[in-house]
Amino acid sequence: MITETNDLVRCFGAGDDLYERYHDHEWGHQVHGEAELFERLTLEGFQSGLSWLTILRKREGFRAAFANFDPTTVAGFTDADVERLMNDAAIVRNRRKIEAAITNARALVELHRNGETLDKVIWSHTPGPRPGPPADWTEVPASTEESKALAKELKRRGFAFVGPTTMYALMQAIGMVDDHIAGCVAARSDA
């Protein structure tokens, strides 16, 4: 736990305004909608192996580079777009992650063609209720049976870079689970 000088207690993010805003107003709050979920899915993939703060600081760059995460536009990206993105210092320049984002946009467009939504696929893997917030970070899993099932389902549907740990991070980020530590200013009592 990190205690602030203003007596607020945050389980992470203290000391950086951007990180604090993300902690207080986004992480653990429910997110729905195709572009919104595509953005979170993409950013979680890019975050893999990196600090989340790095991704937050580049978030506007990602939005510009990936057409505000409009899946139809990103699905149309070509090899020339991959090269353009590899030269874009406003994002994380990792070819596998860039290609995965485009692959995922195409898979999302295919979901829509089949009358399905990413929102429904993701949220259908919501875990059951928990007794309360975790006491500390040792009680927060890296993955769960639900995140493993979600990863498997997305891979089956053509998505890439969606392993169980990344999918659990997505579940946390979109409020499917609330892993704010007990005593944190943002912890819900019904987590």
Considering 39, 44, 146, 168, which one is annotated as catalytic? Answer: 44
Q: List, in sequence order, the alpha helices (H) in the chain.
A: 17-25, 34-47, 52-57, 59-65, 71-75, 79-86, 95-113, 118-123, 145-156, 164-173
The letter for the amino acid at 177 is V
52 is catalytic: yes
Considering 19, 27, 52, 168, which one is annotated as catalytic? Answer: 52
Of residues 22, 23, 29, 21, the one with CA closest to residue 11: 23
Q: List, in sequence order, the alpha helices (H) in 88-144.
A: 95-113, 118-123
Considering 22, 27, 39, 168, which one is annotated as catalytic? Answer: 22
Of residues 65, 63, 75, 58, the one with CA closest to residue 36: 63
44 is catalytic: yes
Pairing of strands 9-10, 2-3: antiparallel
Secondary structure of residue 122 in the 3-state scheme: helix
Quote the CA–CA distance of 173 and 44 in Å, as a whole number.
Answer: 9
Residue 74: which residues within 8 A CB-CB, separation 6 or more? 38, 66, 67, 101, 102, 105
Indicate which residues carry an active-site annotation: 22, 44, 52
